[in-house]
Amino acid sequence: SQKIEQNSEALNIQEGKTATLTCNYTNYSPAYLQWYRQDPGRGPVFLLLIRENEKEKRKERLKVTFDTTLKQSLFHITASQPADSATYLCALEKGRRALTFGSGTRLQVQP
Amino acid sequence: EAEVAQSPRYKITEKSQAVAFWCDPISGHATLYWYRQILGQGPELLVQFQDESVVDDSQLPKDRFSAERLKGVDSTLKIQPAELGDSAMYLCASSLSVGARVIGYTFGSGTRLTVV
């Protein structure tokens, strides 16, 4: 069955450093992959979408890579700030446009 | 900026009671989804609508859950009877597609359900 793995351990980094989060998947060939931010008690907020024919995508301080051979996506936040502290979810297109989500990685940026 | 509206924001109900959640998607978004998120996990799809038709309800516990989107706009998710294990965040999302390409996917703030 389809499986998406994100590091369940929280990632703690110092302000100003680059945060790198990993999303690995198996038994799947998604047409696209998305990254979301989720704050406690709130719904996920869409950040970036990358398609299977794209290797890298950037938006301000965010960068996503997508390696369909390794079945892996990396999500980078450069010059991280305490306001970036949240849970980040990776999601793959499930078919018929619905999404399958990983369990998320909690990022804590220390001032 | 357009939002997906959900109500209520919080709901506490006793087990065996009925509970209902409402969602109003972004105007023009033909596809509507209900997801359930248990604390510490990612959202899981319960049901997907395309306009007023159900596209996927394979993960919906149909003995107690029902969902409808009668006019292809807003939607209601109902649980009857509620069980303790139904305590979770219920998220509604909507998306816009052009052909096979999704070009917008937005979640609401969710309804936090606690069954006591």
pLDDT in tens, A22-80: 999 998 888 889 999 999 999 999 999 998 889 899 999 999 999 999 999 999 999 99
Contact A101 B43 (CB under 8 A): yes
User: pLDDT tens digits, residue range B37-50?
Assistant: 999 999 999 999 99
Looking at residue A95, its pLDDT comes to: 67
Sorted by sequence, the CB contacts under 8 Å of residue B62 that are 6+ apart come out as none
Name the DSSP letter for residue A18. P
> The dihedral of CA B72, B73, B79, B85: what is its sign?
positive
Higher-scoring residue by pLDDT: B102, B10: B10
How confident is residue B100, by pLDDT bands cut at 50, 70 and 90? low
Structural element, H or E, at residue B68: strand B65-68
Contact A43 B108 (CB under 8 A): yes
Maximum CA extent, chain B: 44
CA-based nearest residue in chain B for residue A6:
B42
Sorted by sequence, the CB contacts under 8 Å of residue B77 that are 6+ apart come out as B20, B21, B23, B34, B46, B47, B65, B66, B67, B90, B92
Of A36, A44, A96, the CB nearest to B56: A96
Maximum CA extent, chain A: 42
Q: How far apart are the first and last CA of chain A?
A: 41
User: pLDDT tens digits, residue range B47-93?
Assistant: 999 999 999 999 999 999 999 998 889 999 999 999 999 999 999 99
CA-based nearest residue in chain A for residue B33:
A98
**Does the pLDDT at position B1 exceed 80?**
no
Q: Which residues of A touch B107 (CB under 8 A)?
A: 36, 43-46
